Amino acid sequence: MTTELVLASGSAIRAQLLRNAGVQIRVAPAVIDEISVRRALEAEGAPPRDVADTLAEMKAKKASSKAPDHLVLGCDQVLAVDRKIISKPATPQEARDQLMLLRDRKHQLLSAAVIYKDGKPTWRHVSTARLTMRAFSESYIDGYIDRNWQSIQHSVGGYKLEEEGVRLFARVEGDYFTILGLPLLELLGYLTISGVVEE
């Protein structure tokens, strides 16, 4: 290890993935008004991919201003169904509404990562996973939300695939790390080239 990566995200799973991969990180979440930015981009007709990329870059840029001599990683994940973007549920009822919308349908998870150094973007990547939910019963989803609300309120779409949320799905296409919110393999490739991790 030759340097430290600054993670401009408060996501525990992203930090865990990086640490498990042997990357030395310092967590420094960047706070931006994600809702306003997302709404403005959607009003302009921006595709979900661009929304995820823009939010990730804004976080990296903000955190980079406080650590200009470090590589700073900004991340964002967007859930899209028919170009409609779904955010983290604010209430159990909103989680239920989201899950009922996704029931028996395919949606996309787009995970964006942008690295800044010296106030400029040096690398970016957006990966996509496609997931199909099964036609679960309403009684199951009510119980699922009751059991898991404390965890799923922090996840877009109201589920975590690494937990009981996996039972909601009939099919998953794409990289597992993308689903967790980080294009890890592509990122590690860049960090290796950059000398952050040993080759």
Residues serving a catalytic function are 76
Count CA within 13 A, CB hemisphere, residue 151.
14
Decide: 122 and 116 in contact? Cβ < 8 Å: yes
Which is nearest to 157 in space by CA: 91, 85, 109, 86?
86
Which token pair is 108?
């996309």
Which token pair is 78?
């967007």
Task: State the residue for tokens 């899950």.
Answer: 99
